[in-house]
Amino acid sequence: MFSFIKSFFGPSTDYKALILKGAIIIDVRSPQEFDNGHIQGSKNIPVNIIQREVNSIKKMGKPIITVCQSGARSGMAKGILKNAGIEVYNGGAWFKLNSKIM
């Protein structure tokens, strides 16, 4: 039954493996939120400027994991980056992802 329910949500993402393969975490919260806590090594590119940073993100040549406070803004950022042809994953809330990858 669990596999049946799981099929509605698709396969789960192994974020730790993605990071080990070089994925970059982009925290799309405001600089003030980022300064109050973030995943070590993550880059802060607020969601309101992510569109204009698409080319520089493409040049990174790595998969991207977006994070924010709850997963909403990172979901919006994922959509923008995906539409630009970037391999991107929504990591959701930064503190939850942090606990998954430690």
Residues of the chain with pLDDT under 70: 1-11
pLDDT of residue 5: 46
CATH of domain 10-101: 3.40.250.10
pTM: 0.90
Closest CA to 73 of 36, 6, 26: 26
pLDDT of residue 11: 66
pLDDT tens digits along 72-88: 999 999 999 999 999 99
H runs (alpha helix) in the chain: 2-9, 15-20, 31-35, 54-60, 72-83, 94-101
Question: Residue 49, CB half-sphere, CA atoms under 13 Å: how many?
Answer: 10
